[in-house]
Structure 1
Amino acid sequence: MFRITEFNYHGKTVFFRADLNSPVKDGKIISDARFRAVLHTIRYLLEHNAKVVVGTHQSKPYEEDYLTTEEHAKILSSLLGIEVRYVEDIFGRCAREAITSLKPGEILMLENLRFAAEETKQASLEKCEKTHFVRKLSPLIDYVVTDAFAASHRSQPSLVGFARLKPMIPGFLMEKELKALNKAYESKERPKIYVLGGAKVEDSLKVAENVLRNGKADLILTGGLVGQIFTLAKGFDLGDANISFLEKKGLIKLIDWAEEILNEFYPYVRTPVDFAVEYKGERVEVDLLSDKKWIFDERPIMDIGSRTIEKYREILQEAAIIVANGPMGVFEIEEFAKGTVEVFKAIG
């Protein structure tokens, strides 16, 4: 594996693939955590006189948070203390001219990569190499540096299309994440617990199936939409409001897959025993075995409940190795950050 410190970037054009996909409220980004995570890499490249071209995605088509990267450029500019030029283009003439006009130590940000249809689908390496994105930008780029760890499992042009054409170099964040993941995956220390939450249900099902089948996990704790899908796969009713939301997200079809995983590994996949919803302006917790479940017909699930938090905390305190990915609920809203905050406190 290449290391970022092994190359001379002076005067070289670097395509920096980041994952700045951030939570949005009322059309505005409400967290700069992912921006701060990649600052070390960007500063290193700029300090070594690279010409930096930042590419990221934000959400996906038809979602409310599917925005341009204009605000991303402003946030990054504020954090770096220098101008980050926003280019309202991805691989067209405007983008290519902006890239070729960069001077050493300058940086620009391309438009949301998923505004290009090619970037919304997964394809083989060979097909990714033949996309307009790769064919148009490859002649202008010397190196590709990536810190897009959260998206690195996807076979899409900006993530894999340059692999055989240019040196693909992990940034400081990617290197750190890979080392930690490899250590956790290969460690013989037990028990090894995976905590899978968030909204990327399909990805989490792949992880769960892989680590359980290969004996790399002793137990999986679930939350977020991942936890809801596994809960439905166990036969619990989560009410009309939640079924409707999951249908809108295209996730109902994954229940059968989750059920297959449970059939094979049932004792090793734990799901929430209670959930929290917003009801009459307050956080209300509903046990799956209580007579309050009618609330699920009216109100969407926002977090795991206190009983689940306590059960997960007890399990995590006994863990030797913990691998965690994704929040337990809608952590952007303070009243429903409890599950995520408490579980990650237990992780330490």
Structure 2
Amino acid sequence: MAENFNKKTIRDVDLKDKLVFLRADYNVPIENGHITSDLRIKQSLPTINYLIENGARVVICSHLGRPKGPEKALSLRPVAERLGQLLDQKVTFCESTIGDEANRLKKELKSGEILLLENVRFYPEEKSNDNKFAKSLAEGIDIFVQDGFGVVHRAHASTEAVPNLIEHKVAGFLLETEVTKILDVMQDPKRPLVALIGGAKISDKIELIDKFIEIADAVLIGGAMANTFLKAQGREIGDSLFEPDMIAEVKKIMDKAQDRVESDKFVFYLPQDGVASQKMDTYTTTRIVDWSAHSVASIDSYPKNPARITNMVRDNESIYDIGPFSGSFMAGVIQMAETVVWNGAMGVTEVNALHSPIGPFAHGTDLVVQAMTGEYGKKPTVIVGGGDTTGYVENRGIIELFDHVSTGGGACLDLMVGKKLPGIEALDKA
């Protein structure tokens, strides 16, 4: 793997007959006791197979959801059943996470066998990073393996306190791959590097946008977060979602982008048209709203005068997607890229269509996806940045078309902006 991953991995330790505590991320969607997406379970299989092939006795710990205490709907029992099916071997499920029953089942494990503990977040001590709770989790454990990339930004008992109690603490293959792929792009990308940033809340990604203004060749903004930029420019956005508390920060970001535009070959692009509607549902009437004269040279060249009233978002309308001009422009920029980092949809992709695979507010996202997957010709290297974006490409059945699809949401964002992640810092240095 790349030199930027400086932690020991499961290749570096003797696993034969050792009791291994594997922190996985099985925070999967479950409806009526049935798993609707097993992506995260499947992505843990290479690590688990390596552990059992090398004779480890494997204890798996994970969380599911945000329970206030024990909740049957958030039990990991369905995960144990699905994991057993995927591995084609029995996975013992423990109805507790700590205590006498958990300790008994740990001791009874034989080489190559697997035990899955109940949802670790059923215990409030997990999130409070309680050391006494961590000691109970770590009882009898020889080796700690962190493979839950989606939780390494959390300083919880199972991610930080437990490894600090165990002599050997190493990374699994998924964690190693995630960190390597992401840092390769952030530190030494093939250029041009394009950042495509969408989603609902600018407050979640302001640091990411700031980072990419520094290192990318182009930053393209979409999704509901673009509304806050438009509002900061004085645009009429009707009843669209935006964050008034972020206006000042957004203006600083635009100033920083403008400075880069004036001093470098850099593109900072905000949507210039959008899909507006009074409702966010399948049956609603939509219309294209064009609020710009399509000037893209720099932020300052965007028209200062409002468009004709017929082309403005009405008070009872909201912007739910980027428009066809914006989508086509973004697709064109992506076609010229060597590397693309994509985090966040361009519109509300969750709304289904009546007679089409593409929903009424998903056409903008579909345009940029076609560019990223090479449907217009050249295909760039694409890193999909976790969270809802991963869910979208999985639901569309197009995961295999991307070079790397991250399993981490907050962890991916924090790693990209250069933050230290507690769950990684706790591991042994290589």
> Normalised by the size of structure 1, how large is the TM-score?
0.75
Q: Does 1:39 align with 2:41?
A: no
User: More displaced, 194-203 or 183-192?
Assistant: 194-203
Q: Which amino acid aligns with 2:216?
A: A
Question: Out of 70, 73, 78, which is 2:77 matched to?
Answer: 70
Opposite residue 372 of structure 2, the aligned amino acid is: I
Q: Is the 8 A contact 2:67 2:74 kept in 1?
A: no
Cα 1:188–1:254 shift into 2, 3 Å: same
Counterpart of 1:310 (choices 325, 328, 335) is 328
Structure-to-structure mapping, 1:75-154, within 5 angstroms: 75-120=82-127, 128=129, 130-154=130-154
Looking at structure 2, the residues matched to 202 and 321 of structure 1 have their Cα atoms a distance apart, in angstroms, of: 25
Alignment of 1:178-257 (within 5 A): 178-187=179-188, 189-197=190-198, 203-212=204-213, 215-223=214-222, 243=241, 257=249
Residues 131 and 188 of structure 1: is their aligned pair in 2 closer, same or farther, counting only changes over 3 Å?
same
**3-state SS of the aligned residue for 1:207?**
helix
- Residue 57 of structure 2 aligns with an amino acid whose one-letter code is K
% of aligned pairs identical?
30
Distance 1:270 1:106, change over 3 A: farther
Contact 1:285-1:305 within 8 A present in 2 as well: no
CA contact (8 A) 2:93 2:117 kept: yes
Check whether the contact 2:17–2:55 (CA below 8 A) recurs between aligned residues. Answer: yes
What is the identity, as a one-letter code, of the residue corresponding to 1:265?
A
Q: Is the Cα contact below 8 Å between 2:77 and 2:118 reproduced in 1?
A: yes
What is the CA-CA distance between 1:231 and the residue it aligns to?
A: 5.7
- How many residues are paired up? 328
Distance 1:13 1:341, change over 3 A: farther
1:70-93: CA deviations, max 9, x gaps? 222222222112222333323344
Does 2:177 correspond to 1:176? yes
Are the aligned partners of 1:23 and 1:332 in contact in 2 as well (CA < 8 Å)?
no
For residues 125-164 of structure 1, the C-alpha deviation after alignment (integer angstroms, 9 at most, x for no partner) is xxx4x53432212232222222222332333222222343
Q: Partner of 2:257 in structure 1?
A: 265
CA contact (8 A) 1:192 1:322 kept: yes
Cα separation, 1, equivalents of 2:154 and 2:92: 27
Range that drifts further, 260-269 or 134-143: 260-269
Residue in 2 that maps onto 1:60: 66
Shift of 1:322: 1.9
CA–CA distance in structure 1, aligned partners of residues 102 and 232 of structure 2: 46
TM-score by length of 2: 0.62
Q: Is the 8 A contact 1:283 1:335 kept in 2?
A: no
Q: Are the structure 2 counterparts of residues 10 and 317 from structure 1 closer, same or farther at C-alpha, using a change threshold of 3 Å? A: same
Query: Is this contact kept in 2: 1:60–1:120, CA < 8 A?
Result: no
Q: Distance in 1 between matches of 2:106 and 2:153?
A: 27
Query: Distance between the aligned counterparts of 1:199 and 1:24, measured in 2?
Result: 24
1:311 Cα deviation from its structure 2 partner:
2.9
Higher helix share: 1
Cα distance, 1:131–1:327 mapped onto 2, change above 3 Å: farther
CA distance in 2, matches of 1:68, 1:187: 42
Q: Does 1:19 align with 2:19?
A: no
Tell me, yes or no, if structure 1 residue 325 matches structure 2 residue 343: yes
Go from structure 1 to structure 2 and tell me whether the alpha carbon gap of 1:186 and 1:164 turns closer, same or farther (over 3 Å shift).
same
Residues of 1 paired with 2:280 and 2:60: CA distance? Answer: 38
How far, CA to CA, are the matches of 1:235 and 1:113 in structure 2?
A: 47
Give the structure 1 partner of residue 397 of structure 2. Answer: none
Q: Give the Cα separation in 2 of the matches to 1:255 and 1:94.
A: 54
Looking at structure 1, the residues matched to 78 and 351 of structure 2 have their Cα atoms a distance apart, in angstroms, of 18
Question: Partners of 2:172 and 2:351 in 1: how far apart?
Answer: 27
Q: 1:105 to 1:321 in 2, by over 3 A?
A: same
Q: Distance in 1 between matches of 2:96 and 2:238?
A: 43
Cα shift readout 1:221-276 (whole Å, capped 9, x = no counterpart): 34556556656666667666x65xx9xxxx87666655554454367654554258
The one-letter amino acid paired with 2:329 is K
Report the equivalent of 2:371: 346
Unaligned runs of 5+ in 1: 122-127
Alpha-carbon offset, residue 314 of structure 1 = 1.5
